[in-house]
Structure 1
């Protein structure tokens, strides 16, 4: 199993069975507005890190953005399989 699928499973578990002290559970508890705020913040941090020369910083920020996007996907009931299907369609164009 790849890491994104594993993360998707853990995120799903945190939504279905919140765990005290879990940041993921906190995001779901706060709701869509908080999740969107974090996606926006992380997107901005990716842009800023892209302008710098520190590759490790950019990798870290991209990982943060990926995580928050996966949380958003779960909140909106979108799976990685659905994204993969869409990308496969685009690949054929």
Structure 2
């Protein structure tokens, strides 16, 4: 896995460390923070569906955590849209 807390939206034309180094087919999952370049709160895990399903059932931090508020989720989505529209990293 890759902890991309500091690479998301900065490296790989904004797609992160995995994209930057061409490792998409070699990494099972990526984790990152929504509080760094996204500028809001929270974090994410991205990966293959079967691994995400397993984490949803087995991960104690997931089971005993609180979801983002709708306002925080909307702010994250809008921040990502703005970053994707930007041409500065392309």
Asked whether the two chains share a fold, i.e. TM above 0.5, the reply is: no
TM-score normalised by length of structure 1: 0.31
Higher relative contact order, structure no. (Cα contacts within 8 Å, ≥ 6 residues apart): 1
Higher strand share: 2
Higher helix fraction (1 or 2): 1
